[in-house]
Structure 1
């Protein structure tokens, strides 16, 4: 079924012919919930959807086979579907019949019973028991619940007569009122059978429906990794539930600002009018917000242009700290000081404070971030979805990664997203190739890079005053600079977990600027151009994006791709117009580095904050960050000034969008024309530039080579010396 922008029929959720009649009316806008075209199981069945070929009679053998009461030989071998009325006695459908025996009752037995009844009750009772149409047999006999069996040759074994002959011998004439009553009863019985049969038939898709039932062609993707129970989920300890209505504090004389859902309108010392929120300066711990921009304007599509493909790489949502984080260490230090330390002033709340955060899994804000991202992408790109087949969506086995993908899909497709997509869950564990967690198969990324060198130097610079201030308010408790940094880190973690944190206003606005810069230094050292493995860690995903653009699978490519998955079009499809992948913050930074986006390769001094700079982690990988790569087709080449088309034929462009703002490719690749106002690059030009990126990454040497550990500043291009 073809789709046009703003109009698409709802995808079918089963192959029942009745579902074809449910077509979306009107011309709605692109919507985020691709609704099922069949009622939920709890809804009242729509009997108008009854199949047109259904009649009052059903094949008895079919009914018996369906209820598993026929002998196995009879079920296995085919049988002739009866269209003529059977001679045998039929009964209504019996759900849950238990182990009831199959009783075969001939017409002779029925007639004999009628005679016995007549002897007690008179001729009227005998007539009522034995009379009626031939095919009704002994339907009126009390105490019998016969189950149909074929009896075309049925008769009395003792008398050699058919049941019809015996019944006819004992039949008495019916009165007109009795005849009408029996006809009415028969008609009502047929209607009841049709009604019950229709309900059962329509409910079968729900009865046997599983997680991931599809309205389209069934997926051929093998179930390599199960999603429930999860394998290799990582730490999944939950924390204390939020109680923001009780725990938050605010100045009652100030203008009240409702939480949305976090309480982020917190005044801090030194914050002036026009300053941005401190929650936009928390690096990778910042709640999601669109980037302020990367130095280029935003433009709509020109006339007759169309987006033909989108590849999205998304970070997971807000989470608890990782195991072994500095905040957990600080919590343990306070627990050991209970009853000894005495804190006052702004720190007095710490006398009763306990560390109660969980580990690594999504918090409610994280679920919201991914769900809203899915909704946003549905509005942006919903018409690119092809409802005729499921798409493959990729994530990793970590709990927060799988849950992020599921929440995102619920936002994009609705709660029935398993009808539209199959999640491919790739093992995230050392020893397994995984382009969505590239550092796990690159040991030198941890051991050979500058690591925490630059950040540690900067922390001891910008937190000196705060450490002195904290110590002055504490008795029998010694604050180190690392403790104060952990307390500052507690603010974003508690805020996304509980909605509010008293740690946030312990620091000045300038100290929050310093906090954001400390994270920029760490990510640049560990994952970007100041790391000798910065390019190598992201190379696998860069190769996968290029392979999709060139329409080919991948074998061994000198990176950490999973060759088993990437060499098959079932697990690495090439025919999708939408590709959705889920990864981590450091991996996304390495992917940008592997693409060679050197606008993020600027020098970052470790002893001072240089002010506004391109490599700002809160703008690149906040919680819920997303990189969207659009492929745009235009009828002619587009002017770099966006003032019309130039002479030429059809042209394709590539457009990088990071957190809803354009990344100007010309700023990193002169071949893409830095003067372009829209930041686009011709696709052929971009692909040619990318051909040299694997050599620059030097994967084998960068990840496994024997070279000395580098200091901060020794490496500036993301590759080993």
Structure 2
């Protein structure tokens, strides 16, 4: 027994202390596996807290009056919403807080199959984590704490009467059950799409994620969906530290000294004061007693609808708002992310450019040995940790980082100007279509025996005269992003593809446009919302 105690003490001494039971400062490990391949260490996992178990069988109030019964699958998929004349799903109007769904209207082109005789020879996927609890210091948790502390000091009436018995039941940061399913389903779908790209010589592929717990588990659930529970025989999961000051292209903002989130926050508050006026007045009128209900509380209760739905399956908060107000909520987050890391942000391109450079290196089969952008050259200068001839590349990242990646690629079709006075019609930047929970961007290289006719409706002349050609195809949430819409080198094509050489040429220009050093470390003056439109600081 003494030797067992000594072994236990040795293992415990290998890690620094942590407030949540996981280590954040590894000192040493006796494992023969390099730290960045060891998913059991738990360091740099970020804060975590598990919430209470859901009880949807008890709390679900379905069937709703006047609404045909739709079984939950597993979330509540139908709630009566005032003003919802066309019976649309509000859970697909929750911006980046929406449970995963494929982009419903696409991005401006029809979908075309790979022509006979051609084949997808390479893919690079970057996926967001699945649905999660709110962040540890998130506004939703602050509202929950406020209401908990005010318990018994107020009385709620009408549609808000549920608040009299309501309890805050959410955890923090980590995946909720549907988030795990989203990544498992994504892995299964990607196996059906790209399983043939897995090498049949018995070798493992390298997949990459960050050290945050929800990131690691998202990768593991995806790989289980792709390969099965024995996925460790097929893939090695590389853990890249996610922490301030560490180079990590899957969390590019961690290595950037400048940010535009303050401007983004102020813009969303200004828009909230426009679209939430009526809702705020209604909710305040349902409260009596000692509870100061602010406009921020009204806004945060919309976010509680989103988080309670994915965590508990159902939320009473959802029915307090009209369909128009849910449209306003989604637009508020469109504004925030566009200004935070999109084309309306001076650091939008810079935040995502390191990842773009890594994908270009993979496409051209070379390492990255010179420090640039947020690239961790300790990992990218070695084919063990950065394979250069791997046909199946799987990375896991965050919503804001992937929006920045789309910006860094120069996809200007998402550079909408988003006013703070009204919602413009036919905008392209709709966050729920770009980055719902578990959203993903698949970049394919398609090899064809001859050039493919840009007019894909001409079925008798699919191929043109010429030699073997390779094309790049962007698929965002299962729909094609037309590269010619944003990159002039690609030209207009029915299928949205771009010839590989032209794509690489266009991206060399994007690398320069990002101006990473100046954007992240330069002495530029912050400007108000709406003054930036190209994802980089305005020229002096």
TM-score w.r.t. structure 2 length? 0.91
In structure 1, how many angstroms separate the alpha carbons of the residues matched to 2:307 and 2:352?
27
| 1:255 CA drift (Å) | 2.7
In the other structure, the counterpart of 1:255 is: 68
Which runs of structure 2 are paired with 1:203-214 in the superposition (5 Å)? none
The superposition leaves residues 688-712 of structure 1 with CA deviations (integer Å, 9 ceiling, x where unpaired) of 1111112211111101111111211
1:699 to 510, 513, 516: 516
Q: Which residue in 2 is equivalent to 1:655?
A: 473
Q: Structure 2 CA distance, aligned partners of 1:353 and 1:401?
A: 31
Q: Shift in Å at residue 450 of structure 1? A: 2.3
CA distance in 2, matches of 1:225, 1:258: 41
1:375 to partner: Cα distance: 0.3
Structure 1 residue 650: deviation in Å?
Answer: 0.3
1:245 aligns with 57
Could you say what the CA RMSD is over the residues aligned between the two structures, in angstroms? 1.3
What is the CA-CA distance between 1:252 and the residue it aligns to? Answer: 5.8
Say yes or no: does 1:456 pair with 2:269.
yes
Aligned: 1:289 with 2:107: no
Equivalent in the alignment of 1:187 = none
1:360 positional shift: 0.4
Answer 1 or 2: higher relative contact order, Cα 8 Å, separation at least 6.
2
What corresponds to 1:350 in structure 2?
163
Q: Does residue 208 of structure 2 align to residue 394 of structure 1?
A: yes
Q: Distance in 1 between matches of 2:365 and 2:340?
A: 32
Unaligned 5+ runs, structure 2: 1-31
2:480 is the alignment partner of 1:673: no
Cα distance between partner residues in 1 of 2:54 and 2:133: 13
Q: Distance in 2 between matches of 1:251 and 1:421?
A: 45
* Contact 1:445–1:534 (CA under 8 A) maintained in structure 2: no
* Aligned counterpart, 2:288: 475
Written as runs of structure 1 = structure 2, the 5 A alignment for 1:627-666 is 627-642=441-456, 643=458, 644-666=462-484
Alignment-derived partner of residue 710 in structure 1: 527
Question: 1:455 deviation in Å?
Answer: 1.0
What TM-score do the two structures reach when normalised by structure 1?
0.68
Cα pair 2:208 2:237 within 8 Å, conserved: yes
1:406 to 1:689, Cα distance in 2 relative to 1, 3 A: same
Equivalences for 1:564-603 in 2 at 5 Å? 564-603=378-417
Which deviations, in whole Å up to 9, do the C-alpha atoms of 1:145-201 show, x marking residues without a partner? xxxxxxxxxxxxxxxxxxxxxxxxxxxxxxxxxxxxxxxxxxxxxxxxxxxxxxxxx
Separation (CA, whole Å) in 1 of partners of 2:466 and 2:260: 49
Confirm or deny: 8 A CA contact 2:253 2:351 kept in the other structure: yes
Matched, 1:686 2:499: no
Aligned counterpart, 1:6: none
Q: Distance in 1 between matches of 2:295 and 2:359?
A: 43
Kept after mapping to 2: 8 A contact 1:387/1:420: no
Unaligned 5+ segments in structure 1 are 1-219
**1:437 aligned residue:** 251
In structure 2, what is the equivalent of residue 519 of structure 1? 333
Question: Alignment partner of 1:444: what SS?
Answer: coil
- 5 Å-filtered alignment, 1:262-301, equals 262-273=75-86, 275-292=87-104, 293-301=106-114
Query: What's the CA shift string for 1:300-338, capped at 9, x where partnerless?
Result: 111100110010000000000001111111111112211
Q: Secondary structure at the match of 1:452?
A: helix
Aligned mates of 1:718, 1:574 — CA distance in 2: 29
Q: Aligned with 1:328: secondary structure?
A: helix
What is the CA distance between 1:250 and its match in structure 2? Answer: 2.1
Superposition pairs of residues 141-180 of structure 1, within 5 angstroms: none
8 Å contact kept, 1:454–1:712: yes
Task: Find the residue that maps to 1:692 and give its secondary structure.
Answer: helix
SS in 2 for 1:627: strand
